[in-house]
Amino acid sequence: MIHVSRLTKFYGDYPAVQDVTFDVGAGQVVGFLGPNGAGKSTTMRILAGYLTATSGSATIAGHDVVWDSLEVRRRIGYMPESCPLYHEMRITEYLHFRAGIKGLYGAKRRQRIDYVLKRCWLEDVRRQIIGTLSKGYRQRVGLADALLAAPPVLILDEPTAGLDPTQIRSTRELIRELGREHTILLSTHILSEVEMTCDHAIIIHRGRVAAQGTLSELKDRASAGAGLVAAFDGQIDDTALASLEGVTAVQKESVDGIVRVRLKSDDVASLTPRLCNLAAAKGWKVREIRPERPTLEDLFVQITGRENA
């Protein structure tokens, strides 16, 4: 649905986005993840037709974002980082105005406005002047605007930024629901948000795609070189651990008579029974043995920390 090929954007001689290539399939909810300044908003603005790329190309539903920008705009709902709302208008006036721009008229317009007001929890404040709304409510108006014309694709730039925890939770639920009807690309630098709302993620760092895939693929990638964590009561012989077949490194620490070890191995699954046998043979009192569960955060830190170091 969204196809991006070798997209590059220079601001002067500063490369904000370099050689970015990715695809978002129809119906997918994809997290566009990266630290501040990574190039997320720049890429999204190019997709939404607000900025032209220096080189490379992007299409949405087969339409080029530059050459076919009107067709693209008909198919996307874009929620920018800070929504350019008209502060002197009431919410309903603003939505009527936006609906007119999007070609919605008559009963259809009223019906869609009622629907987005309801969907974005704005019914109670529908007559309030936008300038007097809190940040969270303005975000909702931005999302309502993006949903107005029922576009198949939603491009949401940090939809939960600046919201309080309750609003964040309800917005994430809304995004998950919207994911059943729309293809969504959503940017964030919050990993848990991606884990809660997305099925795929693209990690962008310093303008380049550093990793992409389904969440489980990315976690598997994080687990390369992962291992086992084990804890024992009393002393153990760590040279025996180090000589276990398949162990590539051992870290050990003792706290209050409990010894915790972290064993690195390329084959964690077959290491577990070998460790159990060793513990039984040596008479060690096992407290726990578990595989290290790699998280998206581990991968993110591996990627973004490596180059910052």
Ligand X SMILES: Nc1ncnc2c1ncn2[C@@H]1O[C@H](COP(=O)(O)OP(=O)(O)OP(=O)(O)O)[C@@H](O)[C@H]1O
Among 95, 78, 74, 77, which Cα is nearest to 86's?
95
State the residue for tokens 């007001």: 117
| Alpha-carbon gap, residue 45 to 9, rounded angstroms | 11
| Residues 6+ away with beta carbon under 8 Å from 268 | 226, 227, 228, 291, 292
The piece of 76-84, 228-236, 263-271, 287-295 that touches Mg ion (CB under 5 A) is 76-84
List alpha helices for 120-201, DSSP H. Answer: 135-147, 165-178, 191-197
Task: Give the DSSP letter of residue 221.
Answer: H
Residue 37 interacts with, from ligand X, Mg ion, none (CB under 5-8 Å by kind)? ligand X
Length of the chain measured in residues: 309
Pick the closer one to Mg ion by CB: 41 or 167: 41
Pick the closer one to Mg ion by CB: 81 or 114: 81
Residue 199 interacts with, from Mg ion, ligand X, none (CB under 5-8 Å by kind)? none
Pick the closer one to Mg ion by CB: 168 or 236: 168
Among 181, 180, 102, which Cα is nearest to 148's?
102
| Alpha-carbon gap, residue 140 to 146, rounded angstroms | 10
The piece of 74-82, 130-138, 284-292, 296-304 that touches Mg ion (CB under 5 A) is 74-82
Contact characters 17-36, ligand X, x per CB under 6 A = -----------------x-x
Pick the closer one to ligand X by CB: 34 or 77: 34
The piece of 79-87, 177-185, 213-221, 242-250 that touches Mg ion (CB under 5 A) is 79-87
Q: Smallest gap, in angstroms, from Cβ of residue 37 to Mg ion? A: 8
Give φ, ψ of 79 to 5 degrees: -115, 105
Q: Smallest gap, in angstroms, from Cβ of residue 84 to ligand X? A: 15
Total residues binding Mg ion (CB under 5 A)? 3
Among the listed residues 18, 28, 41, 59, the single contact to Mg ion using CB under 5 A: 41
Q: Could you give the 3-state DSSP secondary structure of residue 262?
A: strand
Among the listed residues 38, 147, 218, 275, the single contact to ligand X using CB under 6 A: 38
Among 115, 121, 118, 125, which Cα is nearest to 91's?
125
The piece of 34-42, 70-78, 145-153, 223-231 that touches Mg ion (CB under 5 A) is 34-42
Kindly state whether residue 42 participates in binding ligand X, applying the rule CB under 6 A. Answer: yes
Among the listed residues 37, 131, 225, 234, the single contact to ligand X using CB under 6 A: 37
Contact characters 174-193, ligand X, x per CB under 6 A = ---------------x----
Binding site residues, Mg ion, CB under 5 A: 40-41, 81
Binding site for ligand X (CB under 6 A): 11, 14, 16, 34, 36-42, 81, 189
